[in-house]
Amino acid sequence: MKARATIVSAMISLGLGFSLPNIGAVAETIESAYAISLATVGLFTTAVSLTHSLGQIPGGGLVDRFGAKRIAILGTTIVCTANALALLAPEPALAIPCRALIGVGTSMAFVAASIYVR
């Protein structure tokens, strides 16, 4: 059972980890696709990083209350849904709140995955 929990936790962490920093490598492409400045592209990463950092302690409380498995699933669902919504249109007004939601989901899922492995 310990090996399964470790594998599941690693898969959650690796899969969601791609939602955090994936903007920097393609900043110029996003700049032209969204017709915005590079500073605005930086807000995409800031939105994720800020909400991810702020959400870890509350995420731990949710794990304590509802269990690691449920919160890992909820966090993953939030990330997938927010990514899907962000694909609807190349609009910063849509992308930045979606990226903030991604940070909420990743914070919950990372905390849950690390606790689930125990």
| Per-residue model confidence (pLDDT) at position 15 | 67
| Per-residue model confidence (pLDDT) at position 96 | 95
| Per-residue model confidence (pLDDT) at position 1 | 59
What's the pTM value of the predicted model, to 2 decimals?
0.83
Higher pLDDT among residues 21 and 107, named by residue: 107
| Per-residue model confidence (pLDDT) at position 71 | 93
Rounded Cα distance, 21 and 72, in Å:
20
The H-or-E segment that residue 102 falls in is helix 92-116
pLDDT tens digits along 70-107: 998 899 899 989 989 999 999 999 999 999 999 999 99
Mean pLDDT of 10-32: 74
CA dihedral over 69, 107, 18, 2, signed as positive or negative = negative
| Per-residue model confidence (pLDDT) at position 37 | 92
Asked if residues 37 and 28 have their Cβ atoms less than 8 Å apart, the reply is no
Of the candidates 3, 94, 101, which has an alpha carbon nearest to the alpha carbon of residue 48? 101
